[in-house]
Structure 1
Amino acid sequence: MVKKKVSKQIPILAAVMLCSAGTVQAAESQAQSIADLKVGLDTVWVLLGAFLVFFMQAGFGMVEAGFIRAKNTCNILTKNFLDFCMASIGFFIIGYALMFGDGNGFSGLKGFMLVGAQSGADVPLFAFWLFQAAFCGAAATIVAGGMAERMKFTAYLVYSFIISALVYPIVGHWVWGGGWLAQMGFADFAGSAVVHTTGGVAALVGTILLKPRNGKYGADGKPKVIYAHSIPLAALGVFILWFGWFGFNCASTLAVGDGSLIGRVAINTNLAAAMGGVISMVTVWKRFGKPDLSMAMNGALAGLVSVTAPCAYIEPWAAMVIGGIGGWIVVRGVELLDRFMVDDPVGAFPVHGLCGIWGTLAVGIFGKSALGLAKNGLAYGGSPAQLLIQAAGVAAVAVFVLVSMGLVFKLIDVTIGLRVNDKHELEGLDIAEHGMESYGGFQIFSSA
């Protein structure tokens, strides 16, 4: 009887075991499917951010073209167009390895041409690379506006490749590639220091070496207005940049998560831009008697630059304060450059350089540990430790870019030359360098 009972129980036990094994296998399969779905969703999110940041190239092009004279429009747009081409190639061959490859605290040393490279996030390598390449192109493009209307096109191409392949990636490694600043606890969520301070300081160096456009300053040193040729074009560019900035900041989460971080970054980005535009307009209105649209637009950009580093670590009210201060800084920054006779046609250094520095420091003032920052900022009763780290980091970035790009521009100047001659500057770079006009047809080439 006992044997019969045992023999009857064996098939039942086997069935239970098979059922349990099937349940475990199904659970594991479901977990794997969810993990795959998450990676897929995060990949689409990062790629969407990359596409939006790429579209910012059009914004930069429209802003810079609108703020300069019509005779140089084709030239500045060609520089913006080739910027992304040079950045893509330079960042693929050399830059990514220096920024995210294994190496030391100063730079990466592996992964050139992506051979053996690893993704810096939980998304496939190629998607992560495209997102980072778009950022690299943005940093390079900042300089075009500051050096507009008098820089040789060939010199610009050389510059664009070098900053994309060498200078920007090294700064990026310090902060986002596990370099020495990251190890100190330096925080720059989306690039106030890495992208904007780098591009802004490079623009300042190049602008100083190029010297002002002919006719910009009188014998007494007072600035003369060189009118923008198309405010509507510049306004379109600002709206494109504002739109693209949601990809710039929000997709820097590198993952969708539950959406709360993306939402906070998005609202902070928008509020900072809005307050920057208002404060800039009010400041210039009070000082000069008119609500200048061009300055209001630069104020919105200043707010965007300022909030880029702290956008993930702050409350919305702090974003408004940070953006508003950025809007005030850009007005005073433009005045400061004119006082020293530094001709920056689109305000590249005040917008990106000065506000990039301010935004980086703002992390140590308004950042909250509850929102992911290592230490509370001063506004929340924290010690000055985080602010001191931020100050040291932004100073290191500024000095490195100042020295490295100073050498680059000087070498370009003594070899192929930085600046066009007076005849070409007067004629306009569209005709002199490209043989075409932006409005009204093409220059006819001849052998004469």
Structure 2
Amino acid sequence: MTESMTQVTGAVQALTQSADTLFLLLGAIMVFLMHAGFAFLEVGTVRQKNQVNALVKILADFGVSTIAYFFIGYWLAYGATFFADAETLSAGNGFALVKFFFLLTFAAAIPAIVSGGIAERARFNPVLISTFFIVGFVYPLFEGMIWNGNFGLQAWFEGRFGAAFHDFAGSVVVHAVGGWIALVAVMLLGMRKGRIRAGKHTNFAPSNIPFLALGAWILSVGWFGFNVMSAQSINGVSGLVAVNSLMAMVGGILAAVVLGKNDPGFIHNGPLAGLVAVCAGSDLMHPLGALITGIVAAAIFVWLFTYMQNHTKIDDVLGVWPLHGVCGAWGGIAAGIFGLQSLGGLGGVSFFVQLLGTVIGIGIALVGSLIVYGLVDKLSGLRLSEEDEFNGADLAIHKISATNLE
């Protein structure tokens, strides 16, 4: 009887482990697909002479990110390496390997975010070099602090304020960090030629609204893998995360429709703003809190992107700093507001900790990116020549255009 029970228990454990591995693998695939969303969002936004570069850049960045994270970043964040035999690595259905794949797709989102900000005037190889150091060193520094307790930051938060910094799916760890890294790169590159004419700002219209919309749809669908599957196990799946993601997305859509005055660019970025912001507290908030979080995020994006494009020298092509950087920071703070039990949330969060943790993440992003992009710019230059920028990155870098005009 005892032996029989042991066999049953072992079989249940094996089945659970297999299910968790499959669950996380599906999540990794969904988030990996989001990179196609990043690519098409950029393709639809940039001018036609830079569309090939947008596609190639996202894919090449993913390849470099994988190497950087496999050999350096994952070890820095979690202390784990892959220098063992295949039999050891595949233990437990290879769950540890699939976890790496899942977290890699998050790490690789950083250069994908940056790509949209620096589009149309960045050199190819220097950007790839920068990607290696950002994903290998800068991103995993903060990732490990928040999601693995490195350097005792979370322990200090809990001991001093009674709650750790809460970021369930990366509003701050991924999006805010990526957006503020992008801001530094954008500032170093400067404005695209032709943006200022007769002393006034000129905005280039998106080249392909259907591609822009396709990118937004792919990202929106993949986001449910990004958020829900951050539980990393079947047992941890939460319908609350799914519905909160849905409500924040819808809040973003509706706010963008009203505030964006029916502009398709704003309407398709609105849901993304809401989804960025809800990542941190999607497992804590009441759906109404998530709805408000999404509405505020889209309002932030529409106002800030409009102001930035028309009144500043920050030439952020896709608006990745307001969308990911600022809305991601809002998401970290919102988790400390709508996660409170007094506002219908599950509790266990501190507003001050959420604010402080968000500021620390932004600080690491700014300092790290200044070092990486600053050194690369000084040593090799980040920006295309004026002639190459005029001809477009497609011909200048890849020697081919997006369409055959013959």
For Structure 1 versus Structure 2, the TM-score category normalised by the shorter chain is over 0.9
Equivalence for 1:90 = 68
Structure 1 position 197 matched with structure 2 position 176: yes
Residues 1:252 and 2:267 are matched in the alignment: no
Structure 2 CA distance for aligned equivalents of residues 157 and 86 of structure 1: 7
Asked if residue 307 in structure 1 is aligned to residue 278 in structure 2, the reply is yes
Secondary structure of 1:327's aligned partner: helix
Of residues 245, 248, 251, the one that matches 1:275 is 251
Kept in 1, the 8 Å contact 2:39–2:215? The answer is yes
Deviation at residue 113 of structure 1 after TM alignment: 4.4
Q: Are the structure 2 counterparts of residues 275 and 158 from structure 1 closer, same or farther at C-alpha, using a change threshold of 3 Å? A: same
Please state how far the C-alpha of 1:359 moved relative to its aligned partner: 0.4
Mapped pair 1:330 → 2:301: yes
Paired with 2:288 and 2:37, the residues of 1 have a C-alpha distance of 27
- Give the 3-state SS of the residue equivalent to 1:124 in structure 2: helix
| Structure 2 counterpart of 1:173, from 122, 139, 144 | 144
Contact 1:39–1:123 (Cα < 8 Å) also in 2: no
Amino acid at match of 1:252: S
Match of 2:154 among 163, 174, 182: 182
The separation in 1 between residues aligned to 2:28 and 2:83, in whole angstroms, is: 18
Taking a change above 3 Å as real, the CA distance of residues 434 and 409 of structure 1, as seen in their structure-2 partners, is same
Q: Tell me the amino acid that sits aligned with residue 202 of structure 1.
A: I
Say if 2:45 and 2:212, in contact at 8 Å, map to a contact too.
Answer: yes
Amino acid of the structure 2 residue aligned with 1:351: L
> Per-residue deviation at 1:353?
0.3
- Matched-pair contact (CA < 8 Å) for 2:339–2:347: no
Letter in structure 2 aligned against 1:206: A
**Where does residue 400 of structure 1 map in the other structure?**
364
Partner Cα separation in structure 1 for residue 312 and residue 378 of structure 2 = 25
State yes or no: 1:158 paired with 2:137: no
Letter of the 1:148 counterpart: A
| TM-aligned CA deviation for residue 316 of structure 1 | 1.1
Q: Does 1:234 align with 2:233?
A: no
- Structure 1, unmatched stretches of 5+, are 1-22, 102-110, 286-290, 369-375, 443-448
Compared CA separation, residues 301 and 403, structure 1 to 2 (3 A): same
* Matching residue of 1:64: 42
Q: Give the structure 1 partner of residue 195 of structure 2.
A: 216
1:20 counterpart residue number: none
Contact 2:228 2:241 in 1 (8 A): yes
Find the partner of 1:356 among 328, 337, 342.
328
Greater displacement, 227-236 / 174-183? 174-183
Checking the alignment, whether the CA contact within 8 Å between 1:96 and 1:114 is kept in structure 2 is no
Aligned length: 394
Change (3 A) 1:363 1:114: farther
Letter in 1 for 2:343: A
Q: 1:349 to 1:396 in 2, by over 3 A?
A: same
Shift of 1:218: 3.2
Q: Which runs of 5+ in 2 are unaligned?
A: 158-163
CA distance in 2, matches of 1:115, 1:164: 23
1:142-153 maps to which residues of 2 (within 5 A)? 142-153=113-124
TM-score, normalization: structure 1?
0.84
Q: Which has the higher contact order (CA 8 A, sep 6+)?
A: 2
**Distance in 2 between residues matched to 1:84 and 1:381, nearest whole Å:** 36
| C-alpha distance after superposition, 1:302-350 (max 9, x if no partner) | 0010001110111111111101111101011103323222111111011
The structure that has the greater radius of gyration is 1
Q: Is 2:354 the counterpart of 1:390?
A: yes
